Amino acid sequence: MPSLFSPEFLTQEQLENLKLYKYAAIDRSFTTKYILRHYWNAAIELFPMWMAPNLITLIGLLFMIINVIFAIIFIPDMDGEEPSWIYFSFALGVWLYSTFDNVDGKQARRTGTSSPLGELFDHGCDALNCSFAAVLQAAGIGLGHSYAAVILYSIAMLGFYLSTAEEYHTGVLYLGYVNAPTEGVILSCILFIISGLYGPSVYNLPVSYYLPQLKTYLPSMMTSLSVSHALIAFIAFMAIFTHLPVCFYAMYKACRKNNKPFVRTMLIQNMPIAVYSIAFISWVSSPYSTILSHHHFILYAITTGIVFGRIASKIILAHLTKSRFPRFTVLLVPLIIGAIITNLPRLNAIDPIFTPESEYLFICGYFVFAVLAYLRWAVVVINSFCSYLGINCLTIPKRKTM
């Protein structure tokens, strides 16, 4: 009888394809090349040789989880003037996550424990971190439970998804001259530090307050934007006009190289993320939803972030096992149901299908289901990798001495 964690998710052929694994990455960032590379080389010396690379990755993620808990406890509205230490904690948490995320690979090489599991574990944590980082960023610059916070999370999610899909097609993780894991992290830390020093309210003032000379050159609509909204507009601009075309062009070249129809491939393979995005946005933006008005966006973002983590991690798994691009995950079902229910036409406002209480309970139930389903899937896949490759996930086996 198969156990609860039996490896039914992976076939023998998929496991055998792990032998073909070869990590490839390109980072064009000058910040990485001339500054952070030296910092990471120094930082790795602080980690003991017995510490497994995946354990480093997991500890890095815990820094983010702890800060999300701080946000839930101390900044539930995500827009208040809270004690300055919490914003410094956000900056420290993001910086430590980035540091641990970048030294885990170095630890794998120095301990001789590099494996496909390391890439899956690392990028899987990165996928989950999209929602954690978005929550901290929204709280850190005082966006509150707003459509601006929704847009910020959507940009992070789509950017990470495109990079993951690009790596599936090209076999190479590509980071541009300006990228989120490097310059984006530095910008986030600077913004958090400013909030710690002066309070997040500084981001609510219009751009013209700090740069009045811009009124001469730019339309009043642009200069009257708050600094926080201007930052989101800038991030969206960079994503749409730099990140998106680079990713799609790389996938176009890969499809041509492999004699695959580009348009048809993109339409079919991007169906899950399209369904996810439409359901995610239509639910939270429905006039009948109380996610924003009743301040449930943190719970909603983390819950749907786990769903996104499953979608992205399945693409990474398919890349490592040379498998077909994943097209569905059962975790999408409650998201679709929630989006449909909240957008059904109402006969009257007195008897809604979703009351504020029932919608909140539905999201809570969705959160529990998503966590349990994701953890079971992760444990099954990790156990399959470890069993086939003869490795441990969070420990380095002691070498036998003669």
Task: Report yes or no on 402 lying in a domain.
Answer: no
Task: Report yes or no on 309 lying in a domain.
Answer: yes
- Domain around 37: 13-389
Token code pair at residue 197: 């020093």
Residue from 26, 277, 334 nearest 158 by CA: 277
Instruction: Give Cα 48 to chain centroid, integer Å.
Output: 28
Task: Report yes or no on 347 lying in a domain.
Answer: yes
Q: What is the CATH number of the domain that holds 31?
A: 1.20.120.1760
Task: Report yes or no on 6 lying in a domain.
Answer: no
pLDDT at 366: 98
Helix (H, G, I), strand (E, B) or coil at 395: strand
Task: Report yes or no on 7 lying in a domain.
Answer: no
Task: Report yes or no on 340 lying in a domain.
Answer: yes
Report the predicted TM-score, pTM, of the whole model to 2 decimal places.
0.94
Residue from 137, 177, 176, 182 nearest 155 by CA: 137
Burial class (CB in 10 A: 0-12, 13-18, 19+), 91: buried
Task: Report yes or no on 399 lying in a domain.
Answer: no
Helix axes 262-269, 244-257, angle to 10 degrees: 120
Domain count, the chain: 1
Spatial distance between the Cα atoms of 173 and 170, rounded to a whole number of angstroms = 8
Task: Report yes or no on 1 lying in a domain.
Answer: no
Write the DSSP assignment of 7-66 as a string of letters.
STTS-HHHHHGGGG----EEE--HHIIIIIHHHHHHHGGGS-TTB-HHHHHHHHHHHHHH
Helix (H, G, I), strand (E, B) or coil at 173: strand
Per-residue pLDDT of the chain (402 residues; tens, 9 = 90+): 344 444 457 999 999 999 999 899 999 999 999 999 999 999 999 999 999 999 999 999 999 999 999 999 999 999 877 789 999 999 999 999 999 999 999 999 999 999 999 999 999 999 999 999 999 999 999 999 999 999 999 999 999 999 999 999 999 999 999 999 999 999 999 999 999 999 999 999 999 999 998 888 878 877 889 999 999 999 999 999 999 999 999 999 999 999 999 999 999 999 999 999 999 999 999 999 999 999 999 999 999 999 999 999 999 999 999 999 998 899 999 999 999 999 988 766 556 678 889 999 999 999 999 999 999 999 999 999 999 999 999 999 876 544
Burial 224-260 (b: 16+ CB within 10 A, else e): ebbbbbbbbeebeebbeeebeeebeebbbebbeeeee
